[in-house]
Amino acid sequence: MKRKLTAAIGIAGMMVSIAACGGEGGGSDKGGADAKELTVWLTVDAQNNWPELVKAADAAMRKKHPGLKINHEYYGWPDKNAKLDAVLATDKAPDVVEMGNTEMLGYMVNGAFAPLDPAEFDNSAAWLDGLKASVTYEGKTYGVPYYAGGRVANWRKDVAASVGVKAPPKTYEELTAALDKIQKKQGDKFSAWYQPTRDWYAAMSFVYDAGGAIATESGGQWKASLSSPQSLKGLKEFKNVVDSYMHGDKTKDESDRYIVYGQGKSAMIFAAAWEGATAEDPKNDKTGKLKGNLENFVMPGPSGRNMPVFLGGSDLAVPVKSDAQALAAEWINAFAGSSGQKGLMAKGNLPNNKTDLATLKNDPKTAVPATAAESNWFVPMAPGWGQVEKAQILQTMLQSIGTGKKSVEAAAKEADAAIDKVINTK
């Protein structure tokens, strides 16, 4: 699941002082352990898909704190941040809020969330690396990973079989060999691999697989590194994929990829785990051949290891203005702790930790996304990252590369310069 970063414009001027809230471990004047009321904001995902888990967390809290009143509000992703920004400017902030993991950074930078002690939360030592990064800023923890979603490869078994390939590839060499055969047979109006050029989540997987990075930190300062030899190696392989197998519009992003896939003009995608299933839905499958004919597999990387994937998902945070921070932290652990993770996994989500993730690898239904999620990357946790995303610097670079407007080196150098102008700016 992909969460676009929404820059926390509404709280940019707030600049709440974290120092006034004490250090990690509940040293705040707003500990609120004796509070009688708790307000929890979640998205409609919880309301529609696992309301019983919310009720279980509430019941556990009321058992421990008799008489505690727990209020729930649910919101959709498109309007969530505007509502949150508005309420954070008042004295009536909720006690727990759900955030998309790429949305956390802007709020952490601007002091909107209270620091938490990871030791108070189940499985914190085993949190998935990408999720842990999303709740960490300047060495402190400001949230708890809730659940995750990764990316996998998905292809048409019938198209692969038509060139004599009957099993998903285990190595990148096997993958490209199969795609070469498919492309040759299907012709240049067909995309053996439909890979939108502006899809920076996929492109950066190639960069991180090659040992590169979007940006690196040293001495408290971030510097773009897309022009490093390792990053250039990954970008050149991404361009090779686009040049060799992508015969669609090379100015598009990935927003309608599942729709294009459903039109039957491509054999493979590298996408969020839900996209294959959505493509084969009768309303999207224009071929009438996709149901039961699509297969997920772990994306192999050119490095010889599994391709590192962007790990999307949700986090839970406690606003610094909450008057019940201690109880809020307790509720989060009751909801997203060990028992909650089992419930979330039963609903088809990936858990927030490596221990539970390992159990999913033994089930054929979940083995692919669980294995793929083990190798993951996350965006640079730099104060100006929101500005990088807002300016679509990576997408612009990738379109220039994919369309041939600029060389990989020139486009990467230009992107680095643009990133360096804003990445350290709060």
pLDDT in tens, 113-125: 999 999 999 999 9
The DSSP line for 8-67 is: -GGGTTT---GGGG-STTT-STT--TT-SEEEEEEEHHHHHH-HHHHHHHHHHHHHHSTT
Averaged pLDDT for residues 352-367: 91
pLDDT value for 25: 40
pLDDT value for 9: 31
Please give the single-letter amino acid code of residue 366. Answer: T
Contacts 24+ apart (CB under 8 A), 54-58: 54/335, 56/334, 56/335, 56/339, 56/340, 56/343, 57/331, 57/334, 57/335, 57/340, 58/331
Residues 174 and 177: their CA atoms lie apart, in Å, by 5
pLDDT value for 91: 87
pLDDT value for 192: 98
Beta bridge partners of 319: 113
Task: Write out pLDDT tens, residues 249-272.
Answer: 999 999 999 999 999 999 999 999
pLDDT value for 23: 37
The β-bridge relationship of strands 376-377 and 309-310 is parallel
Mark out the alpha helices in 308-390 (DSSP H runs): 325-336, 338-346, 354-360, 367-373, 385-390
Whole-prediction pTM? 0.83
Structure confidence at residue 30 as a pLDDT band (50, 70, 90): low
